[in-house]
Structure 1
Amino acid sequence: ALEGNENKDGRADAVTRLLLLHHGWDKESLLEKYYEGPENAVQMMIDAGIDKTVAEKEGENSSAPGSPTKRRSSAKSKSSLPTTFECGICMEPAKPTWRGEDAGCGHRFCRDCYRDYISSRILSGTMNEWATCPQSDCEQLVSHEQIESLLSADSHALQLYARFLVNSYVDSHKSVKWCPAPDCEFAVRVREGIGLRGVARKVTCLCGAVFCVACGEEWHEPSTCVALAHWLRKSERDGPTLQWIATNTKECPRCHVPIEKDGGCNHVMCKSPSCKYDFCWVCLGPWESHGSSWYSCNRFDATEAQAARDAQKASRLHLSRYLHYYSRFVNHRKSVEFERQLYDVVRRRAEEVIAAQPRLTWVDLHFLKRAVDVLLECRQTLKHTYVFAYYLKKCNQGDIFEGNQSDLETATETLSEYLERDITTDNFSDVKQKAARDAQKASRLHLSRYLHYYSRFVNHRKSVEFERQLYDVVRRRAEEVIAAQPRLTWVDLHFLKRAVDVLLECRQTLKHTYVFAYYLKKCNQGDIFEGNQSDLETATETLSEYLERDITTDNFSDVKQKVHDKLTYCSSRRQVLVDHVSEGSRKNWWDFDYGVGSAL
């Protein structure tokens, strides 16, 4: 049922479709298992949802690839079918002008009844990838060709059926993803293993939509798919509510339930049945100590009231932090929606400038479209930097990230301001120069990233060149120590040469870790890699420092122990890093972007 003329049989192509669906559309895997033998083939078809009788008949032909299909004993040839019949659906006897239909099982139906049966199954959503004979208890599958022939007069049902087939392929094939853009019917195919392990990967659909193939959301660099999923759930559930709570309520000092003040009196009683606490709205202290001051607080600095305010401040710190990131996320999201209209705005302004200055062409004003492209790209990135920053634990690299974020924010706002100004014949040259400069500044953040890795690559390269001289340095120091302590030999000081060997080996590895890290796309294993890289970097610098110190007869024993311990540690940390990278290569952890920075 899988090859050659077998597809001429109505049942064969339906069986093939079901088997492909069951095997995730992996043809090689299907063929391998199908030709393992009749028993395996039959069980495989039953597992795929094919009727046992049909599976047994199909299994007879699975012993050798390309073997011809035997005529099914249950299927009657078209010529042997009776010319008169009673429709199994409407139960009317056939008329001479009627055309009968069957699925190869001998159960005949009016063509119109058969079409209505298939069409109703499709339109009601009760049939997805296959249909069976309308006859009760008959499991004969209806061929794809027969369904198309029947539905030729019902284009809507035929389109839905075609969609069902495509859906079954896309949903079963992990390397094919639907574009999430509204009204887009395209799907994208991604290279096996890339973007399919929860690691964000940017793809652009033919419709122009840019999205992450790993999670199906809009492209969200630099945030991870997991962080974005948490953020979207939290924002949808809590965002607007928490903003209102922060603006309009205070927490009860005792039970911390949010309370909205509904009158002018500062005497507030918590409505929680288990609390009923009376307190002052202004200072949050207990109301009983306010005496007769019912409408103003005169105990603002009281110790108890201050403690209540401190507790409220601490409890709202997390809320304030979330709202800080949420408000900026929403602001950039709204800016993206608004600034998409700038394409039409700059086009109209360009037309006006060209009309006033005929010497100018569309080529001269193409920079405006490029500026809008860069602006929207930066807005999208900035929006998701706040997701990244919200879940990021405080660290030194986080401070660098916030600095880069601030620089990009400033450059983006300036570029947006230029594009929203009026462009006239008088200020055209000035606006062009400023817009180009700020678009370049925004793009230069990629350059900053490159320089971060390049400077460290060069630093280790220079260190290797310098530290090669350490062989001579430690040899002279060893000679001095041996001269001062004749009981020592070269064997006793061989650890120094071994230490230089390890030092240079670690430097060389560290140098190339920055090449690896520059092209590496962000992923969870990348964080582990950076941790291993940092450990090796620290250990290597310490070993270098030990070797560059003076070795004397007084400190020889101490230096020997420290150098020996550190070279052993360096060697082990280097091996951990190398093994981790090798394991990632075997298990397809790593995903690289070799186009990064290509426009620099």
Structure 2
Amino acid sequence: MENDVERPYAVLTMDEVKETMKKEISEISEIFLISKSDATVLLMFLRWDSNRVLERLGEDTEKLMTESGLKSVVIDSNQDLSDVSCGICSKIGDGDGDGLISTPFCSHKLCKTCWSEYLEKNFFSVEKNQTAISCPDQSCRAAVGPDTIEKLTVRDQEMYEKYVLKSYRERCLGWKIKQCPAPGCDYVIEFHLASEDDEHSLNIVCLCGHIFCWRCMLESHRPVTCNNASDWLSRDLKKLIGEVDKPSPLSWIETNTKPCPHCSIPVELDDVHQWNQFLTCACSGRFCWKCFQPPEAHGIYGSCFAPEDLSNVGFSRWSNVGSNPWSNIGFNRWRRAEPEKISCLDLWKASQLSLEQAKSELEAFEESIIKKPSDLKEQDVIVLREGLMLVVQCRQFLKWSCVYDYLHTEYDMAKREYLRFLQENASALVHSFSQSIKEETEAKELTRGKLLSETTNIGNYFYHFIKTLREGLSEVKAKSYDNYGGPYWLCDRCTYGNSWLERACKMCCDPTASSTDELSD
């Protein structure tokens, strides 16, 4: 749905993040002719803001070095320089003081064991917040940098390296680098734009296959906003599910009545039908409770040979809506049904199943490539993988377009009909593309021209689809506009005349209005 060239972000491994960090350290070191150890301490001291480090070093190098603990500390006149014992545990070193280590800027020596305990405490301390570490002596501000750490054990060096890397990531977190939120994923995303553009920030595609929103870290939820997505997941979706689970009078009617084929009025079932299969309606019409045919159609003896499962049809025989409104090719099972009868919750559930299937197909493809070598070329494998990723993106967009439907078309059936027409065509395109990928995967040689053509078609369609929703389906005007005078549109639900400045019906959305339940009491 968007070209790789246009992506304002890069998906990096932890090794690539480490290389980026080392590059920043090297630049500071080379420009001001200081050691990489000192450059690391300066960057950690100023929260990895390279521009600020360059500015401060250019203004007053000595002052910055002193503040960051990179200048030699004045030795206390009362300090015994001949003391060769550890400053914490008083362990005695050898005659030359070997085994006791201090920073290059002070004379406070510690044994390796005490250094390890001190560093481990700082590495995992919540309060430290990944800043530069100073000398263990509380009265000393000398910085502990890589040049000190390299004298310690390998374990200490590895812990320090992770600490510095975490410091770099934490500083960049939120504005430049973010961890992919998918469980078990080690990839990080580096954002290249100075400001978060609405379009790009809503669709980040990680190499693990997860698609998420840069700003709120939820799964990608185009075409709705972060607030809309959050409200839907935390409030609206639960509300709709609760309404579905709530007992309804219709459920009793469907269970205990049969619809008269003459007038459609429900006729209650009682013990009579156990002895007489024919029901008599208030309209005087008589019909068989099994096949809904008149008594005359059953011959002299009135025997009915209709299947038993027809006896449970109830009012569903008039329903145009299937239990799963989204079939594999989109909306074909309910394309002739009235849009207001198709619940957004049903569409959401069906599209979620389609999305999970698309993800499963992508995972199966990845596993097949790893376990079983294919006759396809490496470039062909890349094309197929990108195609499967495109299917996942499209399915995810269609899923969240159901939320757009719920939020923006409830009071305008003309827009709802048009939106579902767009959804149906989009779903059909995605299904056709998915089938083409499946066929090409099983073939020995990839037909790139066909896949590229279908990819272009899907890309163009979804580009205009997204653009249409972003503009609020402005191409559609309210049904009643042509038949109503003045600058108003009529609500399809309550027929209230609303100003064109109102996006939702003012009467239906009025919090002071009585609910249907209250009016029925």
TM-score, normalized by length of structure 1? 0.46
Whole-angstrom CA distance in 1 between matches of 2:52 and 2:382: 50
Q: Relative to 1, partners in 2 of residues 1:6 and 1:112: Cα closer, same or farther, differing over 3 Å? A: farther
Residues 81, 106 of structure 1: 8 Å contact kept: no
Alignment of 1:185-334 (within 5 A): 185-195=187-197, 200-205=201-206, 210-234=211-235, 238=238, 243=241, 246-247=244-245, 249-250=246-247, 321=343, 323-334=345-356
Q: Aligned-residue CA RMSD in angstroms?
A: 5.9
Q: Relative to 1, partners in 2 of residues 1:410 and 1:328: Cα closer, same or farther, differing over 3 Å? A: same
Alignment of 1:56-75 (within 5 A): 58=67, 72-74=73-75
Whole-angstrom CA distance in 1 between matches of 2:224 and 2:116: 51
1:335 to 357, 370, 373: 357
Deviations 1:406-451 (A, max 9, x none): 11112323444565679988xx99x99997876565345147569x
Q: Relative to 1, partners in 2 of residues 1:155 and 1:229: Cα closer, same or farther, differing over 3 Å? A: farther
Q: Relative to 1, partners in 2 of residues 1:137 and 1:399: Cα closer, same or farther, differing over 3 Å? A: farther
Residues 99, 112 of structure 2: 8 Å contact kept: yes
Which of the two has higher C-alpha Rg? Answer: 1
Tell me how far 1:193 sits from its aligned partner: 1.2
Q: Tell me what 2:131 maps to.
A: 129
Q: Tell me what 1:183 maps to.
A: 185
Partner AA of 2:92 in structure 1? P
Q: Is there any run of 5+ residues in structure 2 with no aligned partner, and where?
A: 1-27, 258-269, 274-278, 283-339, 478-521
SS at match of 1:382: helix
Residues 203, 212 of structure 1: 8 Å contact kept: yes
Q: Relative to 1, partners in 2 of residues 1:16 and 1:424: Cα closer, same or farther, differing over 3 Å? A: closer
Q: Tell me what 1:404 maps to.
A: 422
Matched, 1:84 2:102: no
SS at match of 2:88: coil
Whole-angstrom CA distance in 1 between matches of 2:347 and 2:460: 25
Q: Relative to 1, partners in 2 of residues 1:71 and 1:169: Cα closer, same or farther, differing over 3 Å? A: same
Q: Tell me what 1:381 maps to.
A: 397
Q: Is there any run of 5+ residues in structure 1 with no aligned partner, and where?
A: 46-54, 62-68, 254-260, 267-280, 284-292, 302-317, 355-359, 451-516, 535-600
Partner AA of 1:82 in structure 2? L
Matched, 1:101 2:65: no
Q: Relative to 1, partners in 2 of residues 1:252 and 1:378: Cα closer, same or farther, differing over 3 Å? A: closer
Q: Tell me what 2:43 maps to.
A: 17
Whole-angstrom CA distance in 2 between matches of 1:101 and 1:346: 54
Partner AA of 2:176 in structure 1? S
Alignment of 1:361-376 (within 5 A): 372-376=388-392
Whole-angstrom CA distance in 2 between matches of 1:230 and 1:220: 12
Whole-angstrom CA distance in 1 between matches of 2:369 and 2:36: 59
Alignment of 1:492-571 (within 5 A): none
Q: Which has the higher helix share?
A: 1
Q: Relative to 1, partners in 2 of residues 1:106 and 1:8: Cα closer, same or farther, differing over 3 Å? A: farther
Whole-angstrom CA distance in 2 between matches of 1:5 and 1:81: 36
Q: Relative to 1, partners in 2 of residues 1:420 and 1:75: Cα closer, same or farther, differing over 3 Å? A: farther
Whole-angstrom CA distance in 1 between matches of 2:465 and 2:387: 21
Residues 325, 390 of structure 1: 8 Å contact kept: no
Tell me how far 1:159 sits from its aligned partner: 4.1
Q: Relative to 1, partners in 2 of residues 1:160 and 1:392: Cα closer, same or farther, differing over 3 Å? A: same
Tell me how far 1:30 sits from its aligned partner: 7.7
Partner AA of 1:129 in structure 2? T
Pick 1 or 2: higher relative contact order, CA cutoff 8 A, min separation 6.
Answer: 2
SS at match of 1:188: strand
Tell me how far 1:204 sits from its aligned partner: 4.5
Q: Tell me what 1:413 maps to.
A: 431
Whole-angstrom CA distance in 1 between matches of 2:32 and 2:203: 43
Residues 7, 13 of structure 1: 8 Å contact kept: yes
Deviations 1:253-273 (A, max 9, x none): 9xxxxxxx9xxxx9xxxxxxx
Number of aligned positions between the proteins: 369
Partner AA of 2:179 in structure 1? W
Q: Relative to 1, partners in 2 of residues 1:447 and 1:244: Cα closer, same or farther, differing over 3 Å? A: closer
Residues 201, 213 of structure 2: 8 Å contact kept: yes
Residues 200, 224 of structure 1: 8 Å contact kept: no
Q: Relative to 1, partners in 2 of residues 1:133 and 1:437: Cα closer, same or farther, differing over 3 Å? A: closer
Tell me how far 1:170 sits from its aligned partner: 1.5
SS at match of 2:131: coil
Residues 187, 207 of structure 2: 8 Å contact kept: no
Q: Tell me what 1:274 maps to.
A: none
Alignment of 1:451-466 (within 5 A): none
